[in-house]
Structure 1
Amino acid sequence: MADYYKAINWNEIEDAIDKATWEKLTEQFWLDTRIPLSNDLDDWRKMTPEEHDLVGKVFGGLTLLDTLQSQDGMSALKADIRTQHEEAVLNNIEFMESVHAKSYSSIFETLNTASEIDAIFAWAQTDPHLQYKAQKINAVYQAGSPLEKKVASVFLETFLFYSGFYTPLYYLGHNKLNNVAEIIKLILRDESVHGTYIGYKFQLGFNELTSAKQEKVKTWLYDFLFDLYSNEENYTHELYDGVGWTEQVLTFLRYNANKALMNLGQDPLFPDGYEDVNPVVMNGISTTTSNHDFFSQVGNGYRLGQVETMNDEDYDYGLTK
Structure 2
Amino acid sequence: MSKTYYEAINWNSIEDMIDKSTWEKLTEQFWLDTRIPLSNDLDDWRSLSDLEKQTVGYVFGGLTLLDTIQSESAIDAIRPDARTPHEEAVINNIQFMESVHAKSYSSIFSTLNTKAEIEEIFEWTNTNEFLQKKAKIINEIYKDGTPLQKKVASVYAETFLFYSGFFAPLYYLGNNKLANVAEIIKLIIRDESVHGTYIGYKFQLGFNELSEEEQEEMKDWMYALLFELYENEEGYTDLLYGELGWDEEVKTFLRYNANKALMNLGVEPLFPDTANDVNPIVMNGLSTGTSNHDFFSQVGNGYLLGSVEAMQEDDYTIGM
Is TM (by shorter chain) over 0.5?
yes
Tell me, yes or no, if structure 1 residue 270 matches structure 2 residue 276. no
Distance 2:100 2:186 in 1: 14
**Equivalent residue number for residue 218 of structure 2:** 217
In structure 2, C-alpha distance between the alignment counterparts of 1:33 and 1:297, rounded to whole Å: 12
CA contact (8 A) 1:189 1:300 kept: no
Q: Does 1:71 align with 2:72?
A: yes
Q: Secondary structure at the match of 2:23?
A: helix
Please say if residues 266 and 317 of structure 2, whose CA atoms lie closer than 8 Å, have aligned partners that are also in contact.
no
TM-aligned CA distance change 1:288 to 1:197, over 3 Å:
closer
In the alignment, what sits opposite 2:198?
Answer: 197
What are the ranges of 5 or more consecutive residues in structure 1 without an aligned counterpart?
none
Change (3 A) 1:35 1:297: closer
Match status 1:11 vs 2:12: yes
> 1:61 and 2:68 equivalent?
no
Whether 1:299 and 2:300 are equivalent positions in the alignment is no
C-alpha distance in 2 between matches for 1:209 and 1:108 = 45
1:146-165, aligned counterparts within 5 Å? Answer: 146-165=147-166
Corresponding pairs, count? 313
> 1:283 offset after TM fit, Å?
1.7
CA distance in 1, matches of 2:8, 2:115: 47
In structure 2, the gaps of 5 or more residues are: none
1:185 and 1:302 in contact (8 A); partners too: no
- Match of residue 313 from structure 2: 309
Moved more, 287-296 or 94-103: 287-296
Distance 1:223 1:150 in 2: 15
Alpha carbons 1:166, 1:281 under 8 Å: kept: yes
Cα RMSD of the aligned pairs, angstroms, is: 1.5
Partner Cα distance (2:235, 2:194) in 1: 28
Shift of 1:302: 5.8
- 2:255 aligned with 1:254, yes or no? yes
Residue identity opposite 2:111 in structure 1: T
Distance 1:182 1:120 in 2: 22
Q: Deviations over 1:245-275 (max 9, x none)?
A: 0000000000000000000000000000010
Tell me the residue number matched to 1:88.
89
Q: Residues of 1 paired with 2:218 and 2:42: CA distance?
A: 48
Contact 1:44 1:111 in 2 (8 A): yes
Instruction: Give me the TM-score of the superposition, normalised by structure 1.
Output: 0.94
Q: Distance in 1 between matches of 2:289 and 2:92?
A: 28
Contact 1:39 1:179 (C-alpha < 8 Å) held by counterparts: yes
Question: Residue 135 of structure 1 corresponds to which residue in structure 2?
Answer: 136
Q: In structure 2, how many angstroms separate the alpha carbons of the residues matched to 1:19 and 1:210?
A: 29
Deviations 1:109-137 (A, max 9, x none): 00000000001111111000001001100
Give CA deviations for 1:47-79 in whole Å, capped at 9, x if unaligned: 000001100000000000000000010010001
TM-score by length of 2: 0.95
Matched residues in 2 for 1:288 and 1:223: separation? 34
- In the alignment, is the contact (CA less than 8 A) between 1:27 and 1:298 conserved in 2? yes
**Equivalent in the alignment of 2:146:** 145
The corresponding residue for 1:320 is: 319
Quickly say closer, same or farther: Cα 1:80–1:112, change in 2 above 3 A.
same
Q: Distance in 1 between matches of 2:220 and 2:286?
A: 32
Distance in 1 between the 2:191 and 2:219 partners?
A: 26
Q: Please give the alpha-carbon distance, in whole angstroms, between the structure 2 residues aligned to 1:300 and 1:97.
A: 22
Alpha carbons 2:28, 2:308 under 8 Å: kept:
no
Q: Tell me whether 273-282 or 287-296 shows the greater mean CA deviation.
A: 287-296
Identity among equivalent pairs (%):
67
1:288, distance to aligned residue in structure 2 (A): 4.0
